[in-house]
Structure 1
Amino acid sequence: MPVMKKLVAADIVLGEPLPFSIFDERGNLLLRKGIAIAMPDQVDRLVTRGALIEDTRPEAGLAGAGRPQRSSPMPAAAPTEPVFERIAGLALNLKHIVATALRTPEQIDLPARIGKIARTIQELCRADLDSMLAAPYLDYQNPYIIVHQLMGAVLTEVVAERKGVDVEQRVSMICGALTRDWGQLSLQGELDSLTGPLSDGLKQRVRAHPTRGIEMLEQAGVTDACWLESIRAHHERLDGSGYPNQLKGDQIPLGGRVLAIADVFSAMGKPRPYRNRVLGPQNALREIYLKVGSEMDE
């Protein structure tokens, strides 16, 4: 069985795929090989909690030769697929749904497929919320639009659940979070190739994406009012400075308020060519709290 050693900061190169998987002291998988860690404080937290990796030094194998090994923290076979693996599968599934919906929407039952992903997100948040919050931040494999939708969906479940929203209404909100930027899909190639700020024309097209997204979803068979209204209002702001309808205060439905927080927090964590700053989670929360009562719902 492999010999394990405690992780040290020097084992990890920021921004580079991990050459090993990382486990906790009980052998539970924390991060799978190939995932990139981008922030030093993530490394510090892993080191502080005593995370383990396989010791590949030649002397480690020799030291254990010829004598019984103590029980290794590396599990021989995990009873269930790790959360990081399952959310990676959700990302692939969402990519497939998006591509099919754009090309041949009649071939899929879109409300059912998105609803299934939403319920899986609820299940995984109950099982391992830390991994669910971390996985999208550490995903550098999938397109921004996919990761952004998934991160927003996870955050929507967290905020709505703690707000006391019932399970079924949360499913509708999560479905909204998973599809909130579909009206922007036709612009995504143009947005991804930008090397500077949005032009006025492109900005106007971006601001129309909630309305366009609802049209696409209705054409694909979505009739859930909470799902659609959450998307329509996710860029509205309490002070009326949002879009597309400049709604104020109580005019904004709860789903729109929740999606707004999830969308803003998620967007602050991923680099974009037209965004000057990328913030870590704590600074993103600070930015949001500074807007509480004016733009964001307390």
Structure 2
Amino acid sequence: MSKLPGRGFCRVAPTDLRLGEPLPYAVYDSSGMLLLKAGFVINTQKQLDVLVQNGSCRAEDAPRARPAAALPIATVNEEHNTFEILDLLKIRLKRTFDLYKAGSLNADFVPRIEGIALTIQEACTHDTDSALANLHLDYDTSYAVIHHLQSAILCELIGKKMGVREDSRLPLIKAGLTHDIGLIDIQDELDRQHTPLTPLQRERITRHPADSEWILASLGATAAAWLDPVRHHHERLDGTGYPDGAAGDAIGTPTRVLAIADIYSAMVRDRPYRKAMVSGEAMRKLMLEQGQKTDNRLIHMMIKEIGVFPPGAIVRLANGEVAVVKKRTASSASPLVCAFIKPDGMPMLTPLRRDTADEKFRVEGIVPFSNYRGSIVVLRSLWNRP
């Protein structure tokens, strides 16, 4: 087993990684960034291959013995674990962007993004509700990180709904994770800015799809299925988009999927010049204003997949309580929710599950999460238990 100089890490032995069994130790990339926690269960051969091929590492002094069978091990099959995995993905993606901005990533960039994309597929396979809820409830992580993760997850869900094979969905997830990399160096500045855009900023925004394609190619991305959606995600069916003014059939289906994911994710995040829309309002705006410019069929497919009231949305019930959507159900209008605010506006000591198919607890509408940010610790705790 080869040692990494001065790092205190050793290469992971391929024999230590087994499908369907918990990792005996935490796994890191070659720079020492955490990839997977000890106890994580690898359930796909592709994820296993990526970890081995990209030179994943373990701490030199990490015990190689597997956890005793009697010990409880949190796996991705457990609901709360998927929620936590999304927190880990935020850290990994932020670190990847930070290293890129510092000029410290070259050959490592593509493997990092591929690893994050594979983990997104894994998380969505086991618990889509928790993955969606984590991002809808997060208004503290930087816009660049949340926006890219949310876009990537929506691309995965729409692609799956369309019946696209798992390996064919992967390039579009990677496109979702990186489509605005051409703005990464000024994104924090844009997030703080309340004044109108300068001419230079407008120029950067207009050319960022082409810049993003060039940057990704320079970092080692070669697949057209990754690069094409990145370059064209701001094209519109009526020819009013940019950078190439493509229209109609010249805009492929993967690009149309990313365009819709990008627009929806931007709408439900706070921006310097406007407050975030609640998800229902964003969906209506998508259909009314963007339907003919993007692809109405795919918009309806996304809405059907994530629900009228997606996990993590804050809703008001017929009895006056305020609740958070916990799970989608067969009826998109009647999700499973957990009430956390009483009708008199006082917080509940313990959130209560409500069946919104019951007329008494019918969902009357979505309310802004910003009104209840003080309850975030209580809300997140709902995904830390079964």
Deviation at 1:143, TM superposition (A): 0.9
Inter-partner Cα distance in structure 1 for 2:253 and 2:88? 29
| 1:8 corresponding residue in structure 2 | none
Residues 23-72 of structure 1 deviation map (CA, whole Å, 9 limit, x = unaligned): xxxxxxxxxxxxxxxxxxxxxxxxxxxxxxxxxxxxxxxxxxxxxxxxxx
Q: Which runs of 4+ in 1 moved over 6 A?
A: none
Q: 3-state DSSP class of the match of 2:239?
A: coil
Q: Which has the larger displacement, 210-219 or 257-266?
A: 210-219
From 75, 80, 85, the equivalent of 1:80 is 75
Counterpart in the other structure of 2:170: 171
User: Which of 292, 295, 306 is the aligned partner of 1:294?
Assistant: 292
**What is the aligned residue count?**
222
Closer, same or farther: CA 287–221 of 1 in aligned 2, 3 Å = same
Q: Distance in 1 between matches of 2:102 and 2:213?
A: 17
- Contact conserved, 2:139 with 2:269, CA < 8 A, in 1? no
Q: Is the 8 A contact 1:268 1:284 kept in 2?
A: yes
Pick one of 278, 281, 285 that aligns with 2:279: 281
**Displacement, 1:240?**
0.9
Q: CA deviation at 1:140?
A: 2.9
Q: Distance in 2 between matches of 1:157 and 1:284?
A: 20
**Per-residue deviation, 1:78:** 5.8
Letter in 2 for 1:246: G
Answer 1 or 2: which has greater helix percent.
Answer: 1
CA pair 250-95 structure 1, distance change in 2 beyond 3 A: same
What does residue range 5-154 of structure 1 map to in structure 2 within 5 Å?
A: 79-80=74-75, 82-106=81-105, 108-154=107-153
The 5-angstrom pairing of residues 148-227 of structure 1 reads: 148-227=147-226
Contact 1:233 1:253 in 2 (8 A): no
1:137 CA displacement = 1.7
Report the Cα offset of residue 176 of structure 1.
Answer: 0.3
Please give the TM-score of this superposition, normalised by the length of structure 1: 0.70
Residues 172 and 229, structure 2, Cα contact 8 Å, conserved in 1: yes
Q: Distance in 2 between matches of 1:140 and 1:241?
A: 31
SS at structure 2 position matched to 1:208: helix
Letter of the 2:284 partner, please give it.
Answer: R
Q: Judging by fraction of residues, say which structure has more strand.
A: 2
Identity %: 38
SS of equivalent to 2:184: helix
SS at match of 1:128: helix
Give unmatched runs, 5+ long, in structure 1: 1-75
Question: Are the aligned partners of 1:238 and 1:293 in contact in 2 as well (CA < 8 Å)?
Answer: no
Per the alignment, in what secondary structure is the counterpart of residue 197 of structure 2?
A: coil
Contact map agreement 1:153 1:174 (CA 8 A) in 2: yes
Distance 2:131 2:105 in 1: 31
Q: C-alpha separation between the residues in 1 aligned to 2:98 and 2:280?
A: 34
Q: 1:247 to 1:130 in 2, by over 3 A?
A: same
1:105 deviation in Å? 4.3
The residue identity in structure 2 corresponding to 1:297 is: D
Aligned to 1:270: 269
Distance in 2 of aligned mates of 1:174 and 1:282: 24
Q: Which residue of 2 aligns with 1:71?
A: none
Q: C-alpha deviations, 1:203-256, integer Å up to 9, x for none?
A: 221111111111111111110111000101111111111111111011112221
TM-score (norm 2): 0.55
1:233 and 1:160 map into 2 onto residues whose CA distance is 17
Q: CA deviation at 1:80?
A: 2.1
Structure 1: distance between partners of 2:163 and 2:280: 24
How far, CA to CA, are the matches of 1:294 and 1:239 in structure 2?
A: 8
Q: For the Cα contact (< 8 Å) 1:105–1:220, is it kept in 2?
A: no
Aligned residue type for 1:224 = A
Whole-Å separation in 2 of the counterparts to 1:196 and 1:102: 25
